[in-house]
Amino acid sequence: MSADEIDDSDGVRSLFDRLLDGDATLVIAVLGAIYLAYVLAGVAFGYGLRGQLNSIANLTFYIGVFGMLALALNLHWGYTGLFNIGIVGFMGIGVYVTALVSKPPVAQGGAAQVGGLGLPLGVGVIVGVVVTALFGLLVALPALRLRADYLAIVTVAFSEIVRFTMMSRTFQSYTVPDTIDLTVAGVQLFSFDPAADTIGLGGGGGLILNYPDPLEALLRTLFLWEPYLGFVGFVQRTLIPNNPKPVIDGFVYGLLLLVGVGLFYVLLSRVGKSPFGRVLKAIREDEDVANALGKDTDRFKLTAFVLGSALMGLGGILWYSSRGSITPPSFRPNITFFIWIALIIGGAGSNTGSFLGGAIFAGLLYEGPRYAKNLIETAFDLGDAPGNFGTAVAPMASLDPVPFVLYTLDSVSQLRLVIMGVVLIWLMHNRPEGLLGHRKETASSVDLSRPGGRDASNAAAADGGENR
């Protein structure tokens, strides 16, 4: 994951060396452990290849999206100290705008109640990111002039406004006239025949994402669609005879998300390891000092906030656009707090830590409890869980804990939040800086050790600059 090291023209060999003893080892070790656990769980469940691939694809998906979003949040909180608790609002804007731009006009869509502009998905994604960035600007302009806690209030309010707007009947559907004319003083300036019949946010029912599958759209753009279908056919003939395409689709999409994480990482490392990132860090530490040193802190905060928001929008698009539909309840603030937990686990301030936090959160806290439940149920045939808490607890009096355990297992998806809370409290007590938050990731594009080579032997330089 240390792709930023491409920067240093130390040659391939030293790059390779640093990859091995640096972050890459850690990332590979953590991912390896998580994947191993999931594969072993799959074996225990008696999954075949198809089941294993499905489980891995699902895990990879969540590692990818949580990794990306934790990285984006790290720019806000870890670097700049901007307390954004409206992440899910930016994600929602991203994916809703993408949907509006790329959904086909309703006449062709059939099942969908509202249409879109029918533009290619690539355009939709770009517009989605740009619009999210603009909303980031809108939120930041008034809020950044206030102190940190006000930004928190503004962002969480904003994300709720976004969600209620999605649900609102006012914006549910709007019938687009057949032609739009702009005529001023009898002169027709503009005539436009919009493709869409109706457009809107779909209200509480959400939007059906009846545009081409994002994976297909991407592969078609890259002229890889035919080879891909060939590969799917090959798998069908050899490994998975029964309709392997959805499984492979999921798997490949997961891999693409990991590539996306890599791109986020490279971008944000470059941002961090630069004079720009240094000013962001200074703002986090003490804004008045940065200001007294001649830095226009408002400008820096604004830029960082807008960039982070845009990345959150992109994260939202990549998370939800491959779903069949999107509905407002998906964008409740709990997603925001999941991402915060991921960042806190990984360690605010470290990009590698942010990704690791995302991966660990996805693997252990988000998906893990469900797997643990299934695992226990597979291992011990315990029968049906009691229907309510009373019947679960009553047998405890006669020292029979089984119904209670069953009940607990059965409610594991609700208990997930409790588990996250407990983990968070434990972290706050024992390791508030997270996994990698203690590290020095020097905010500079160059090695800052003493020039002139007096004590700038290569090893010292590598150690002094980073990883301490």
Partner 1 sequence: MSESDDTTADGPLPAEGGPTEEAPESTEDASTDTGEPDDAFDMAGDAEVSSGSTPLEVEGLRKTFGGIVAVDDVSFDVEAGTLTGLIGPNGAGKSTTFNLITGMLEPDAGTVRFNGEEITGLEPHEIANQGLARTFQIARELEEMTVLENMMLAPKGQIGESLWRSVMPITREAVREQETEQLDRVWEVLEFFEIDHLADEYAGNLSGGQRKLLEMARALLTDPDMLLLDEPFAGVNPSLEKRLLEHIHELREEGYTFLIVEHDMDLIMNNCERVIVMHQGRVLKDGTPAEIKDSEEVIEAYLGGEV
Residues in contact with partner 1 by CB under 8 A are 7, 267, 270-271, 274-279, 281-282, 284-286, 288-297, 300, 303, 307, 349, 440, 442-446, 448, 450-452, 464, 468
Nearer to partner 1, 172 or 444 (CB): 444
Nearer to partner 1, 198 or 449 (CB): 449
Instruction: For residue 85, report the phi and psi dihedrals to the nearest 5 degrees.
Output: -115, 35
Contacts by 398-406, CB closer than 8 A, 24 or more apart: 406/382
Nearer to partner 1, 107 or 263 (CB): 263
Question: Cβ contacts of residue 444 below 8 Å, gap of 6+?
Answer: 273, 274, 275, 278
Q: How far is the CB of 163 from partner 1 (least distance, A)?
A: 30
Nearer to partner 1, 57 or 271 (CB): 271
CA distance 366 to 337: 12
CA distance 453 to 377: 62
Instruction: For residue 141, report the phi and psi dihedrals to the nearest 5 degrees.
Output: -55, -55
Nearer to partner 1, 400 or 455 (CB): 455
Six token digits for residue 45: 């469940």
Q: How far is the CB of 257 from partner 1 (least distance, A)?
A: 22
Nearer to partner 1, 270 or 323 (CB): 270
CA distance 97 to 100: 5
Q: How far is the CB of 16 from partner 1 (least distance, A)?
A: 21
Angle (CA) 187-189-191 rounded to 5° is: 115
CB distance 370 to 413 below 8 Å: yes
Q: Which residue type, as a one-letter code, is found at position 410? A: D
Q: How far is the CB of 279 from partner 1 (least distance, A)?
A: 6
Angle (CA) 163-165-169 rounded to 5° is: 125
Q: How far is the CB of 343 from partner 1 (least distance, A)?
A: 16
CB distance 432 to 262 below 8 Å: no
Q: How far is the CB of 293 from partner 1 (least distance, A)?
A: 5
Six token digits for residue 259: 């590539």
Buried b (16+ CB within 10 A) or exposed e, 230-240: eebeebeeeeb
CA distance 417 to 439: 29
Nearer to partner 1, 249 or 441 (CB): 441
Q: How far is the CB of 344 from partner 1 (least distance, A)?
A: 16
Nearer to partner 1, 422 or 448 (CB): 448
Q: How far is the CB of 277 from partner 1 (least distance, A)?
A: 7
